[in-house]
Amino acid sequence: MHVNLFDRYQETQSFLHRLDPRVKVLATIFYVVSNALLPDGAWFAFFAAWIFLLACNALSKLGWNYTLKRSLIALPFALIAITVLFTTKGTPLFSFELFSVHWALSLAGITRFAAILIRSWLSVQMALLLVAATTFPDLIHALEHLRIPKVLTAIIAFLYRYLFVLTDESFRLLRAREARSVAAEGMKRGGSLLWRAKNAGNMVGQLFLRSYERSDRIYQAMTARGYSGRLYTLNPHEMKSADYFAAALTLTFLSFIQILGRI
């Protein structure tokens, strides 16, 4: 089973790993919301948010650059906001004509675009830190404790669990196709593009049928064992003094960031 394909949990003995998952989930949500509420150009507040993130990295013992390296993959998706450079009203720095459309780059547009990139970059890092310091069952139980509908948490849990199974089934189908697609040395395996498309369609159909049959067997097995829609974990999820202290400190620092952003 290719667990590493999806599971990003890092086994380490640290203060952040020992925190109650409810505190970590709420801290992540509040951190993302805090970044979203900061006004454009609040650079000192963004810097303070980054300092908070570095402190969390230090408490996780994963290294200050653990989330930094992995968050860079999200920056290209934030580039979709590049249009704000030309759509934000403000004093234009320069303008040009392209495809019969007048484009004007303003300082306000640059400020907003930079703020969007920073918000995305910081929020993605905090989310990465959450999944790296919390096991998936604990995350699901934290969501249940926070009154997220059980149907939704059950769907997320089963989707996560059986993504591994579907991945293994896909690899088996690919290995079977490779074993049956022989060719002379120096020649490409398989046939024409149409043949490859037909083969891929057959594989998708086989994967769907196998998944459907497996889901029926799993449902019957779980029903026979008394499954009632509740997932269990070995973590007792008892709030301790350290958890309350961490939650209060997080709320205090995020409030300070909001005040700093509006000074």
Quote the mean pLDDT of the chain. 81
pLDDT at 184: 45
DSSP 10: -
Site of tokens 């310091």: 133
Domain ranges, residue 45: 3-134+236-261
Are both 102 and 177 inside the same structural domain?
A: no
- Distance from C-alpha of 35 to C-alpha of 120, rounded to nearest angstrom: 9
pLDDT at 149: 84
Is 148 strand, coil or helix? coil
Three-state helix/strand/coil letters over 194-237 = HHHHHHHHHHHHHHHHHHHHHHHHHHHHHHHCCCCCCCCCCCCC
Please tell me the pTM assigned to this model.
0.76
Two tokens, residue 145: 């404790």
Two tokens, residue 109: 């547009």
Are both 27 and 128 inside the same structural domain?
A: yes
Are both 225 and 241 inside the same structural domain?
A: no
Are both 199 and 252 inside the same structural domain?
A: no
Give the range with max mean pLDDT: 10-24, 89-103, 145-159, 213-227.
10-24
Are both 124 and 156 inside the same structural domain?
A: no
Domains in the chain: how many in total? Answer: 2
192-204 pLDDT, tens digit each: 677 777 777 888 8
Are both 224 and 240 inside the same structural domain?
A: no
Cα R_g (the chain), whole angstroms: 24
Least confident residue range of 35-44, 103-112, 175-184, 247-256 = 175-184
Residue 73 identity (one-letter amino acid): I
Are both 86 and 159 inside the same structural domain?
A: no
94-112 pLDDT, tens digit each: 766 666 666 777 888 888 8
Two tokens, residue 156: 């997320």
158-193 pLDDT, tens digit each: 887 787 778 888 888 878 777 776 554 454 555 667
One DSSP character per residue, 76-121 reads HHHGGGGGHHHHS-S-EEEEEEETTEEEEEEHHHHHHHHHHHHHHH
Are both 140 and 104 inside the same structural domain?
A: no
Are both 216 and 252 inside the same structural domain?
A: no
Are both 30 and 115 inside the same structural domain?
A: yes
Are both 246 and 225 inside the same structural domain?
A: no
Are both 126 and 248 inside the same structural domain?
A: yes
User: What is the mean predicted confidence (pLDDT) over 125-134?
Assistant: 90
